[in-house]
Amino acid sequence: MDFGIMAVPAITVICYLVGLCVKATGIDNKYIPAIVGCIGCILGVVGLHTMTDFPAQDILTAIAVGIVSGMAATGADQIRKQMSKKEE
């Protein structure tokens, strides 16, 4: 199955779930962005080697796509938190 550009949101969702799991373990929150960035990096490289339509054609771009996708998971969590603060 070819995901192509849909691999990027998939990496973000996986990293978001990993971030939630890390947070549940009690690890200090300041480490979560680095952890999800590393997980995104790994998933970007895996995507490069396993998906024919992955949006990167070389290893450095795949790493960058993965890290940015992982960091987007942290940003999505912060947006969710800020939106819930505004409702209060």
Q: Whole-structure pTM over 0.75, yes or no? A: yes
Contact yes or no for 45/66 (Cβ under 8 A)? yes
| 21, 41 contact by CB (below 8 A) | no
Domain range list for the chain? 4-80
Determine the pLDDT at residue 81: 80
pLDDT band at 3 (very low <50, low <70, confident <90, very high): low
For residues 59 and 48, the answer to whether their CB atoms sit within 8 Å is yes
Q: How far is CA 43 from CA 5, 15, 21, 34, in A?
A: 14, 9, 17, 14
pLDDT for residue 38: 96
Question: Which of 79, 14, 8, 67 has the alpha carbon at shortest distance from 22?
Answer: 14
